[in-house]
Amino acid sequence: MSFPLALPCNDLLNNNSDAVIVIAADVHDLQHECLNQAVAPYLAIDARIASKATLVLADELPGKRLIISPTGPLNRDYDDVRRVFDAAKSAINEAKAAGSKAPTLLVVGVPQDERYQNALQVAYLGACQALWQPLEAREYRGESIEPVTQISLFGADDTVCKQLNALAAGQYAARDLCGTEPERMAPPKFADYCVELFNNTCVSVEVISDINTIEKQYPMLGTVARASYAVERHHPRVIKLEYTPSGEVNRTLMFVGKGLVYDTGGADLKVGGFMAGMSRDKGGAASVAGFMKAVADYQPKGVKVIAYLAVVRNSIGSDCFVPDEIITCREGLKVRIGNTDAEGRLAMGDLLSEMKDLAKSEVNPELFTVATLTGHAARAVGPYSAYVENGPARAARVSRQLADMGDLWADGAELSRSRREDYDFVKPRTFADDVLSSNNAPSAVTARGHQFPMAFLAIVGGLDKHGCDSELPLPYVHMDIAGSGVEGGDWQHGKPTAATVSSLFARYCI
């Protein structure tokens, strides 16, 4: 793993860097005399400096390189720290193209309000996002395609850099797991990556590979995996991760991640080019594993984290599951299949049921499912994550606090309510079944297409019995990252974003 290490820096002129990158709200005032003097001759002749990342010669600076990257407006109601994030992405690409391997990064001139309190940290994370290259590309061309080895953060201290290095490591792993092609990251290799990722860390790893065990303990996941049994290298895995802090536990975070290494749609085959990019349908499990990596490196006090990853391929073939089948889930309910392309909720449902049972004996548990689940989420909220919460989570403001934190860390989310219509949507239509997995239309054209799957998950996970009116309310949030999981909504070519990792880390670990 070769993400650029964040290093503290308090001297612009005398350090080990080979370039200075300035993320600036106003390129005419870089707030350091040496920087203003270096850029002044160029500002006099090149108006483009105010609108795009630009490299200029600066004899007094390390490496004689100065990259200025303007943020654009920051004071409007709808501006946020993502402008800093984007400016840093542009700047680091200029620095890399110029041959820099160890730049210093600083942010100047941002407004003094809470929206930009983490501007420097976000700039670093933006640079890391831009620098990451796919795992299979690194294996093919060598690690030299990621030449930047460190980024010195002007004004940051050791504590901030320790936090950022843990977070960056987690995001890097999440991008690897999400962004790698379906054979290189088939379920057994996904599991191998996780085993290696957490080797010699404080996170324990258990991998369930036996098909009979999966069929017995997680029958809905086994149903999704059924057509993949013909190909051994496509066999499913259930990966269990656990971190227990030293000292007292004050809160327990419990995750189930959707790890569809490839989603053909199954019998409801994706056609018309819509199958391309479905190797990234493992983005939910990838983000959960990435968060666990950040936790492993940072080792926060007071918070215990448990994660189950459902890693499976939704293949087609003579033994694939089909609409109208009725499956008995772990909770003992009869589940009628409405559409085989709504497989992620099936893969996660029984793991969520097991997690719910475990939660009953944990300290202050909060449960989450994380998934690239529905096209509707992307259609409804665009490039944001969509959080759908149950009553106890809403009462505790779990999603609100996460979304507010995400606004400060360039990891935006929108909140959705779980409503009675969602439960009505999945209610049984006959006495032969207890719950319907989905309708037979694409989620993007289905009313409340990203909300009703949470109702299904709550039912098959048994969490519908742990609402505000129960003896043991359990907060549960479904995090749909179908719109936020890759850059630009380009599931075939866009870089994975590691959505939710920074929000979760900032909210619960620092």
Contacts of 281 (CB under 8 A, 6+ apart): 258, 260, 261, 262, 263, 344, 372
Which helix (H) or strand (E) segment is 444 a member of? none
Q: Are residues 122 and 72 in contact, defined by beta-carbon separation less than 8 angstroms?
A: no
Query: Quick one: how far is CA 213 from the chain centroid?
Result: 29
Between CA 445 and CA 449, with CA 447 as vertex, the angle to 5 degrees is: 75
Answer yes or no: 304 catalytic: no
Residue holding tokens 């935006």?
Answer: 412
Backbone angles phi and psi of 87, in degrees to 5: -65, -35
Of the residues 175, 345, 448, 495, only one is catalytic, namely 345
Contacts of 166 (CB under 8 A, 6+ apart): 294, 295, 297, 298, 505, 509
Which regions of 320-475 does DSSP assign to beta strands (E)?
A: 326-328, 334-336, 365-371, 385-389, 413-417, 435-436
Cα–Cα distance for residue pair 429/440, rounded to 1 Å: 14
Cα–Cα distance for residue pair 319/229, rounded to 1 Å: 9
DSSP state of 270: -
Nearest CA to 308 among 382, 392, 208, 394?
Answer: 208
3-state secondary structure of 361: coil
DSSP one-letter string for 173-240: HHHHHHHS-TTTT-HHHHHHHHHHHTTTSSEEEEEE--HHHHHHH-HHHHHHHGGGGGSGGG--EEEE
Sheet holding 334-336, edge to edge: 326-328, 334-336, 435-436
Answer yes or no: 270 catalytic: yes
> CA of 412: how far to CAs of 219, 253, 370, 446, 465, in Å?
34, 20, 15, 24, 30
Cα–Cα distance for residue pair 53/34, rounded to 1 Å: 19
Angle between helix axes 119-131 and 158-179 (nearest 10 degrees) is 30
Structure tokens at 181: 């092609």
Of the residues 162, 184, 270, 465, only one is catalytic, namely 270
Cα–Cα distance for residue pair 463/367, rounded to 1 Å: 10
Query: Quick one: how far is CA 110 from the chain centroid?
Result: 27
Q: Catalytic site residues?
A: 270, 345
